Amino acid sequence: MVSFSPFANALAQLKRAAKILALDNLTLNKLQTPERVLTAKIPVPLDNGTTREFVAYRVQYNDARGPFKGGIRYHPGVTEDEVKALAFWMTMKCAAVGLPLGGGKGGVVVNPKELSAGELERLSRGYVQAFYQHLGPTKDVPAPDVYTNSQIMAWMLDEYEHLVGEHAPGMITGKPLSLGGSLGRATATAQGGVYILQELMAKLERSPKNTTVAIQGFGNAGANAAKLLHQLGYKIVAVSDSQGGVYNEDGIDPRKAEAIKQAGGMLGCYCLGTVCTLEQIKTDGPCRAVSNEELLELAVDVLIPAALENQITAANADRIKAKIILELANGPTTPEADEILNKKGTLVVPDILANAGGVTVSYFEQVQNAMNYYWSEEEVSPKLKKIMVDAFAAVWGAKGKHQVDLRTAAFVLAVERVVEAMRERGESNTKKGR
Ligand code: GLU
């Protein structure tokens, strides 16, 4: 049955790993449900004098390995089911790369593009007012996610510190540098993914030159990945945002695409002011607009979904031509699609490995906050690289050992680690106070 429930998909992934680990039912059952699901309605006074309520969630999935950790998403499509899946994936992601953190996630059902800066600030402060008793550096640590950013983290930190009456920079990550953010955090998700791709390319004895890449999503993860890969000599041939995308057989300079977006233009318009040159357009040549669906099916070497869940499904998986899929988004591929892709020999580098760079530098940010001593970018980068390279090697090793795909290998490692921590705690315990 085709499932568009991200949480059902997440549980299907869990079950595959559980089977290989011969996990007992009691433990599996514990892993199938979050520790806590918090919901609230946040009243936000709007600029026009009226008040609107927004539905908000914080899901605390598992904290056996450390404080709950995970971003807050502002998106009109947010549901409880989605936030549960994202919180579960955070648990697995932190464990897959060996961070001493659990997993959580937050979300607000809102289209932030429709709010003014003031309304957005009031919503963000309202979120913290609703949940602050459950947050904190040793309890649950939010971060940015889809359509949230360092400014929103700053408002949330400020609100939290007012409520608890002390400085607590480690209660949130992805902050501005001036409030205790980490160098390298803004590009960390993309950078981590690039380190992983480079490791995979080395295994396959391929070089970036002549390797074509299509990227779905031009937010923090997608745009930074495009720039980093371009610098390394990969040929970016397609990029898109929520409005649509553009394909250029001759290659796209992502800095130009970014400039167009920053100027309020559209990536996907088949017109002047896109990444196509006038000459390419006039000759009906190698540059054209593509939809987000078309982008996924382009004949490229590497496909990078960097937007939302459920993009590669049973409906389009057999038309995907890329040999490598690097999941910078969370949950872009459904289990049904995985099956089709695995049969075809497509290498899917799973989200819990490919996009773990973001939370890894979030962890570094917390470490620096706790020390109140800050690292240079030259100190952050090799630390991130080591974690990603080691995690890739471990996942690649588990793939060979268990003769499974990369996702199942990553889940086997992650589930093993979470379960070990649960057992060490004597996890039949009642969790008092946490
Ligand atoms: N939202 C990012 C993710 O999905 C980062 C989470 C974090 O830094 O806590 O991995």
| pLDDT tens digit at each of 434 positions of the chain | 445 899 999 999 999 999 999 999 999 999 999 999 999 999 999 999 999 999 999 999 999 999 999 999 999 999 999 999 999 999 999 999 999 999 999 999 999 999 999 999 999 999 999 999 999 999 999 999 999 999 999 999 999 999 999 999 999 999 999 999 999 999 999 999 999 999 999 999 999 999 999 999 999 999 999 999 999 999 999 999 998 889 999 999 999 889 888 877 777 664 545 677 666 666 666 788 899 999 999 999 999 999 999 999 999 999 999 999 999 999 999 999 999 999 999 999 999 999 999 999 999 999 999 999 999 999 999 999 999 999 999 999 999 999 999 999 999 999 999 999 999 999 655 454 44
Token match 């588990």: residue? 398
Nearest to 44 by CA among 55, 60, 33, 35: 55
Q: Over the stretch 285-306, which tens digit does the pLDDT of each residue have?
A: 678 889 999 999 999 999 999 9
Q: Is the CB of 330 under 6 A from ligand 1?
A: yes
Cα gap 138→171, rounded to integer Å:
8
pLDDT reported for residue 283? 60
25 three-state secondary structure: helix
- On the question of a common fold for 37-179 and 188-354, the answer reads yes
Dist. CA 71 → ligand 1 center (Å): 5
CA dihedral 89, 62, 200, 333 (to 10 degrees): -20
Nearest CA to ligand 1 atom 9: 70
In ligand 1, which atom is closest to the CA atom of 356?
Answer: 10
Mutate to test the pocket of ligand 1, among 91, 359, 365 (most ligand atoms within 8 A of CB): 359
Distance 356 CA to ligand 1 centre (A): 7
Residues linked to residue 236 through DSSP beta bridges, in sequence order: 213
Strand partners, 52: 44
Helix, strand or coil for residue 176?
A: coil
pLDDT score, position 428: 59
Q: Distance of CA 251 to CAs 149, 206, 325, Å? A: 29, 19, 19
Positions marked active-site: 105
**What is the Cβ-side half-sphere exposure of residue 292, based on CA atoms within 13 angstroms?**
16
Q: By the 8 A CB rule, do 369 and 170 touch? A: yes
Ligand 1 centroid, distance to 152 Cα (angstroms) = 14
The residues pairing with 304 across neighbouring beta strands, listed in sequence order, are: 215
Please work out whether the CB of residue 355 comes within 6 Å of at least one atom of ligand 1.
yes
The C-alpha R_g of the chain, in whole angstroms, comes to 21
**Which residues contact residue 95 at a Cβ distance below 8 angstroms, ignoring those fewer than 6 apart?**
65, 413, 414, 415, 417, 418
Distance 299 CA to ligand 1 centre (A): 30
> Do 174 and 143 touch, CB atoms closer than 8 A?
yes
Dihedral sign from CA coordinates of 351, 418, 172, 115 = positive
Q: Can you state the angle between helices 150-164 and 117-131, rounded to 10 degrees?
A: 50
* The token pair that represents 112 in the structure block: 């932030």
Q: What angle do CA 344, 346, 347 make, to 5 degrees?
A: 150
Name the residue among 308, 337, 296, 297 with its Cα closest to residue 13: 337
Quote the pLDDT of residue 2: 47
Residue whose tokens read 């070497």 = 301
Give the SS3 label for residue 313: coil
Which residue ranges make up each domain of the chain? 37-179, 188-354
What pLDDT sits at residue 289?
Answer: 85
**Which residue is listed with tokens 């996702």?**
407
Residue nearest to atom 7 of ligand 1 (CA): 359
Tokens of 57: 């969630």
Which CATH class for the 37-179 domain?
A: alpha beta
Query: Under DSSP, is residue 209 helix (H, G, I), strand (E, B) or coil?
Result: coil
Fold observed for domain 188-354 = Rossmann fold (3.40.50)
